[in-house]
Structure 1
Amino acid sequence: MNDVVKPKRIGILTAGGDCPGLNAAIRGVGKTAIVEYGMEVLGFHAGYSGLISGKYNVLKESALSGILTLGGTILGTSREKPFKMAKNGDNLKPEKIKKNYAKLGLDAVVCIGGNGTMKTASLLAQEGLNVVGIPKTIDNDVWGTDVTFGFDSAVQIATDAIDRLHTTANSHQRVMIIEIMGHHAGWLALYSGLAGGGDIILLPELEYNIRSVCKKIESRYEDNKPYSIVVVAEGIEHPKDKSAASHIAEAIQTYTGIETRETVLGYIQRGGSPTPMDRILATRYGSFATQCIAEGNFGTMVAIKDNELTTVPLEEVGGKLRLVESDHGLIQKARKMGVSFGDEFL
């Protein structure tokens, strides 16, 4: 009599900030696991908190229907860092995770998130858990992959906002500053700034000179271009008691005397339904992550390189950032079209 092979039991969690495409990734993992491999799927609540507390739902295929287009995450999320030491020096959270992993008979966990999530996933892998990571973030700054899902949706939202500011700026002949998310990486500001026709784009990776910014604006007015759009990443150098947009707007108005207004786009960039590109990317990532589990390819993060799916070791991802390089092709092309990055007179 042949032994009955027990189907694999896997967990899924979404951690860190929300972004469009999380549900598409959950669906990609879950449907592939259930339909293709006959696996049982558990969805853990609120990121790593669910692994610590053992709170989960069994995800049947029916629960994964109708979520492809939804923003947010049906599992909830949190910024729980289980390996962060408590104030008293105790930290039992990793042990609780390992106990719940064993108690529930898990064969693997799929961790969907950004840089912090991948770092924690790597530490869990070092503790002996079978882990596969899926990279998401609107900042597009996860090391080891060409693109993260959530980025394309955020670019579309930010670009739409810039498009709308053009009409107001032109009507009132003003300088309009729009602040885009991105603490360390300027990918979102760069892409939306170019797509939206920004005249000046300020990135965290490039040192800028406010006099250079003002000179660009004044030269545009001298050339009978009565308004300017300045796209600013939130992570540029600025006083911490005000927003980046407010700092740049005050400086421009002070030095040029030209009427200036600022808009901080904020969390609007992270919400809503994912674009078709993000739905496809998240689905590809999710399905491939399940394939990695079936093949025993653990301790890895799924990635895209030259539009081909691959994996990179989690231990190489944690703690690194994918930043915009000063000689990036888009920056070079933009400079040739007259776009300023605030560094022309440094």
Structure 2
Amino acid sequence: MKKLRVAIIGCGGIANQKQFPALKKNADLCEMVAFCDLIEERAIKAANEFGIKGAQVTTDYHEVLQNPDVDVVHICTPNVSHSEIAIASFDAKKHVYCEKPMSHSSTEAEKMVEAWKKSGMQFTVGYQNRFRPEVQNLHASCADGELGDIYYGKAHAVRRRGVPTWGVFMDKEAQGGGPLIDIGTHALDITLWCMNNYDVDSVNGSVFYKLGGLEQATEGNLFGPWDPKTYEVEDSAMGFIKMKNGATINLEASWALNILESREASTTLCGTKAGAEIHSGMSYGKNELIYNRGKNNQLMEETLSPVGGVAYFGGGGGEEGTIDAKQWLEAVVNGTEPLVKPEEALAVTKVLDAIYKSAAENKEIKF
């Protein structure tokens, strides 16, 4: 079988921590033939470490798209550039894997979906947390109706002090937002996917700029103190999401919150037959999935405890990242749908955008 020829646009943190190792572990399906970054040294380093002999190195992504040897483009750039690069990639007839979130705004995300549909190419977004074993288990239970009618959920993305101090995470112009768009997006994706409900009726949101600018708040941060003078994004955001069938979801996202429990990329689901909770994040030594229900006139809990850890901390690709890359590459080869569908990722972006808009305008946003 001919290997897919992959180009990586953006050779920074997420490329090195997730994309490069995951693609390397799927060398039977692909080879990395092009590397693009605004900082040429980063692209050169990546090409030397992960690329084929003679791999293309450039600072201009248009040169990548003009390369006939490129089949697939992986976009690993700051959020505000996702739309521009993805649309140009589709126009160049390349398959596109875009890191989460799809875009910093629903308007730009809709443009991406429109360009994808016109192109006839494959498209997915990097919500690799779906491939964690406990998330897969919960999704299967929900699909089998074991929780019954799921009418309430919570999407958890809260760190006590875990502000990323590298890259452009605190740059509002480059990212479009802070923890809501960075880690809240994963928690919401897991929740909506397990509920299999993307029909949003309305969104109310609150966004807080409380701790980012405080010097004393930087104490104890997992990644070292940040610079309060350059902290431009929110430090916390909360959303109340009402679905058209009456179900509701609370979304909580924060890099820094004075709270004891740090729970991230997690969900709580409550149904008519049973409930379930995923526990993951800084407060947990391993990821957990706990089902709760009544049985034989007693309350009971059933627990799965697979080995867990901090995703991609220190690099290595992560098992879920490797599986994500494998199913994506196989989808391109076989012409099948990837697990993360563009319309689902668009729905997540629309909700996040609505939370920001609701907070800014102090009103409910109707869909």
Q: TM-score w.r.t. structure 1 length?
A: 0.37
Which has a greater percent of helix? Answer: 1
Which of the two has greater strand per residue? 2
Flag the structure with larger Rg: 1
Greater RCO between the two (CA within 8 Å, min separation 6)?
A: 1
Q: TM-score when scaled to structure 2?
A: 0.36
